[in-house]
Amino acid sequence: MTIAPAPSGPVTRVAYLGTPRLAVTPLRALAAAGIEVALVVSQPDRRRGRGSAVVASPVKQAALDLGLPVSDEVAEVAEVGVDLAVVVAFGRLIGRPVLEAVPMVNLHFSLLPRWRGAAPVERAILAGDTHTGVDLMAVEEALDTGGIYRRREVRIGPNDTLDHLRTTLTHEGTAMLVEELQRGLGVATPQQGEATYAAKITPEERQLRWQDSAATVHRVVRLGGAWTTHNGKRLKVWATHVPPRGDGPVVAAGDGPVELVEVQPEGKAPMAARAWANGARWRPGDGLGS
């Protein structure tokens, strides 16, 4: 297979492929920088939220707000005469005919080849990685194997949440993307090192297992949507401190204590863990998971 070569000079006309909210920022930045966006391709409209109303993806809605042409057909990218296509969290495979016709770059939120795949930021947090980053890479038919045009590295703090890291990486990647397109991509550097793969996070992986280390429990909470049980009912845990540093209820993990900061009892809104503990008649030494 022959991938279409990337342009050597500044890029002035692109197609954009993306779907979720995090992919809106790069799209808006490209338009603001004066780079013509000839077409935006996103996932088809789907039923979402209460009442299951059919709504556009965040990227499609942003494109409509900007007055840009939109489609849900990837093949149309090859028909609009662009210098390059930019892919950010698109969520669909791109077929060989399009890859052979149009050069493509992707903003990938990891330090490749570590964490190729769908959930690189989540996997970096769960693994206890101290650094991650965002790569501007060439798109190939294989999963996240393309060469790297440019990279920015980001430290992962011990309390950084998934949302915080995604926001940081999005802003870093957006600035890098615009700079590279304005000055020209140059030559991509092949990936080096051992590849690891970032499968999607399952609901079971968000269940807190109190026999794990306190650090592991805290990492799961930092992903968002972590859950456990109390008296047979589900309890979401939205924030914790490790080691404890406040006056919230403390739960014993495998090697030390975890302080609950914010929780959400079944059928209720999120609340301070201390308020929940008072209502639940929590006593020092009580546990969760039952």
Query: Does any domain span residue 101?
Result: yes
Evaluate if residue 50 carries a pLDDT over 70.
Answer: no
Examine the domain organization and report whether 157 and 61 are in the same domain. Answer: yes
Question: Which pLDDT band holds residue 49 (cuts at 50, 70, 90)?
Answer: low
Per-position b or e across 85-111, b if 16+ CB within 10 A of its CB: bbbbbbeeebeeebbeebbbbbbbbbb
CA angle at residue 15 from 83 to 192, to 5 degrees? 75
Query: Does any domain span residue 1?
Result: no
What's the CATH code of the domain at 37? 3.40.50.170
Lowest-confidence region among 121-125, 184-188, 209-213: 184-188
Final residue of a structural domain among 172, 198, 224: 198
Examine the domain organization and report whether 134 and 253 are in the same domain. Answer: no
pLDDT at 4: 81
Examine the domain organization and report whether 127 and 246 are in the same domain. Answer: no
Examine the domain organization and report whether 190 and 214 are in the same domain. Answer: no
Final residue of a structural domain among 178, 198, 218: 198
CA angle at residue 263 from 259 to 267, to 5 degrees? 155
Domain that holds residue 169: 13-198
C-alpha torsion sign, points 150, 154, 160, 164: negative
Cβ-based neighbour number of residue 199 at 10 Å? 11
The two tokens of residue 215 are 């650090």
Among 125, 192, 191, CA closest to 154: 125
Query: Does any domain span residue 288?
Result: no
Q: What is the mean pLDDT of residues 247-266?
A: 95
Residues 173-187 have pLDDT tens digits of: 999 999 999 999 999
Q: What is the mean pLDDT of residues 129-135?
A: 98
266 contacts 233 by C-beta, under 8 angstroms:
yes
The two tokens of residue 185 are 């991509």
Q: How far apart are CA 196 and CA 123, in angstroms?
A: 10
Query: Does any domain span residue 145?
Result: yes
Examine the domain organization and report whether 214 and 135 are in the same domain. Answer: no
Examine the domain organization and report whether 100 and 54 are in the same domain. Answer: yes
Q: What is the mean pLDDT of residues 106-128?
A: 97
Residues 78-89 have pLDDT tens digits of: 999 999 999 999
pLDDT at 51: 64
State the SS3 of the chain. Answer: CCCCCCCCCCCCEEEEEECCHHHHHHHHHHHHCCCEEEEEECCCCEEECHHHEEECCHHHHHHHHCCCCEECCHHHHHHCCCCEEEEECCCCCCCHHHHHHCCEEEEECCCCCCCEECCHHHHHHHCCCCEEEEEEEECCCCCCCCCEEEEEEEECCCCCCHHHHHHHHHHHHHHHHHHHHHHCCCCCECCCCCCCEECCCCHHHHECCCCCCHHHHHHHHHCCCEEEEECCEEEEEEEEECCCCCCCCEEECCCCEEEEEEEEECCCCCEEHHHHHHHCCCCCCCCCCC
Residue with tokens 């493509």: 104
Across the beta sheet with 70-71, what order do the strands follow?
A: 70-71, 36-41, 13-18, 84-88, 104-108, 131-138, 148-155
Looking at per-residue confidence, does 55 or 115 come out higher? 115
Examine the domain organization and report whether 242 and 112 are in the same domain. Answer: no
Q: What is the mean pLDDT of residues 38-60?
A: 86
Count: domains in the chain:
2
Q: How far apart are CA 208 and CA 40, in angstroms?
A: 39
Examine the domain organization and report whether 38 and 175 are in the same domain. Answer: yes
150 bridge partner residues: 136
pLDDT at 47: 74
Distance between start and end Cα atoms, the chain = 55
